[in-house]
């Protein structure tokens, strides 16, 4: 009991609240608490679930929410902080709090790569992150690309990748941002996702284009890979089925869109109706010559949550990547019923 990892969470938003839920499910971790910056339904729910809250230094009026203490108390009691602040607050907090207090910390992918000693995707580079003090979990899109490209690279080798990222315009709860009725290309080439993949998969020759659409559910990627060896469709499907945190779905089971993926997550009884696995469509994997094409969907709110859990273990010196991934997956129900739809 006494050697559980004591985790504090800074920023209780889309990612922070999910990481809190996930930490509570780990046998080797203890959730010390989360920071409270303002009064809203998220904090009300946290209180209803008895999650300890600590007042952030520049908090707004908290309207009667019950605080366990001040942020300094949270810092002191925690072995490690998972910083889930909106960019670029993570980097600011590092300088202001974590470095001076010599506290290990995990950061999110919105921060610049330099915030971490390493950038992290558990199944790609866990080992090089063991014992590091500052680890950056890459963004949802980058995580998705790393999971599938890492598998393909190890099997066929990769000459070049081009991915088009069709991004949801806003998160499900976000009523401010559009577009309502437009397709909005990112007017820079490559989009930042390509370079970001290289912070994890160092020599990946990837080029990305991005655009936003009027949806809130998931991102979608169409990926073209020039392989070194000729790939085979059935073999690629088998490869993805055997890759952790990747799920193959098909038309036969009526999973034909991001909307049906989200409904499937509800049906599976997932916490917050999340689908942390990267979802690949069986019918949309194709090969022409040495080029492999596939289409994948990314649940922006949840695919990095399990990565944060693994990153905590890596930072704290837990050396066995496989074991960490297995613990995390089992506790969160990840990969559950994966084979059902194959």
Could you say which DSSP state residue 128 is in? G
- Identity of the residue, 287 or 316, whose beta carbon is nearer to its own copies in the bound complex: 287
Site for its own copies in 289-308 (CB under 8 A): 289, 291, 293, 295, 297
**Site size for its own copies (CB under 8 A):** 86
- Sketch the per residue contact string, 246 through 265, with its own copies: x for CB under 8 A, - otherwise: ---x-xxxxxxxxxx-xxx-
Least Å distance, CB 145 to its own copies, is 15
Site for its own copies in 181-210 (CB under 8 A): 181-190, 207, 209
Among 24, 273, 316, 326, binds its own copies (CB under 8 A): 273
- Identity of the residue, 68 or 222, whose beta carbon is nearer to its own copies in the bound complex: 222
Angle at 37 between CA 32 and CA 41, to 5 degrees: 90
Contact 103, 80 (CB under 8 A): yes
- Identity of the residue, 154 or 251, whose beta carbon is nearer to its own copies in the bound complex: 251
**Residue whose C-alpha is closest to residue 36's, from 65, 7, 2:** 65
CA distance 312 to 79: 10
Would you count residue 176 as binding its own copies (CB under 8 A)?
yes
Catalytic residue of the set 124, 140, 146, 306: 140
Q: In what order do the strands lie in the sheet with 134-137?
A: 69-70, 53-55, 29-36, 5-10, 80-83, 104-107, 134-137, 118-120
Joined together, the tokens standing for residue 151 give 């598998």
Could you say which DSSP state residue 85 is in? P
- Identity of the residue, 233 or 316, whose beta carbon is nearer to its own copies in the bound complex: 233
Among 79, 117, 271, 326, binds its own copies (CB under 8 A): 271
Selected range binding its own copies among 46-54, 100-108, 236-244, 311-319, rule: CB under 8 A: 46-54
Among 285, 304, 305, 312, binds its own copies (CB under 8 A): 285
Site for its own copies in 52-91 (CB under 8 A): 63
DSSP code string of 248-309: EE-GGGT--SHHHHHHHHHHTT-GGG---SEEEEGGG-EEETTEEEEEEEE-TTTTTHHHHH
146 is annotated as an active-site residue: no
The helix (H) or strand (E) run that includes residue 136 is strand 134-137
- Identity of the residue, 165 or 306, whose beta carbon is nearer to its own copies in the bound complex: 165
| Residues carrying an active site annotation | 140
């Amino acid at each position: 009991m006494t050697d559980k990892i004591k985790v504090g969470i800074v920023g209780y938003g889309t990612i922070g609240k999910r990481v809190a839920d996930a930490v509570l499910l780990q046998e080797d971790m203890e959730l010390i608490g989360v920071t409270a910056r303002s009064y809203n339904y998220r904090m009300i729910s946290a209180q209803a679930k008895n999650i300890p809250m600590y007042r952030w230094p520049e908090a707004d009026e908290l309207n009667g929410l019950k605080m366990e203490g001040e942020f300094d108390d949270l810092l002191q009691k925690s072995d490690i902080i998972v910083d889930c602040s909106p960019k670029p607050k993570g980097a600011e907090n590092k300088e202001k709090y974590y470095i001076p207090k010599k506290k290990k910390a995990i950061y999110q992918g919105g921060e610049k790569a330099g915030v971490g000693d390493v950038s992290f995707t558990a199944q790609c580079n866990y080992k090089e992150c063991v014992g590091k003090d500052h680890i950056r979990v890459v963004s949802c899109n980058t995580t998705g690309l790393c999971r599938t490209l890492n598998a393909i690279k190890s099997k066929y080798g990769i000459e070049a990748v081009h991915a088009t990222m069709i991004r949801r315009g806003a998160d499900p709860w976000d009523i401010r941002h559009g577009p309502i009725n437009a397709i909005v290309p990112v007017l820079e080439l490559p989009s930042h996702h390509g370079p970001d993949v290289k912070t994890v998969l160092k020599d990946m020759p990837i080029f990305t284009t991005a655009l936003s659409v009027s949806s809130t559910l998931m991102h979608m990627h169409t990926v073209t890979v020039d392989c070194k060896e000729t790939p085979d469709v059935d073999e690629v499907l088998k490869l993805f089925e055997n890759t952790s945190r990747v799920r193959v779905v098909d038309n036969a089971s009526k999973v034909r869109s991001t909307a049906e993926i989200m409904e499937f997550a509800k049906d599976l009884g997932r916490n917050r109706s999340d689908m942390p696995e990267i979802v690949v469509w069986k019918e949309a994997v194709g090969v022409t010559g040495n080029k492999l094409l596939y289409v994948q969907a990314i649940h922006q709110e949840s695919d990095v949550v399990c990565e944060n859990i693994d990153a905590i273990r890596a930072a704290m010196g837990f050396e066995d990547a496989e074991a960490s991934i297995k613990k995390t997956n089992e506790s969160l129900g990840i990969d559950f019923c994966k084979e059902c739809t194959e």
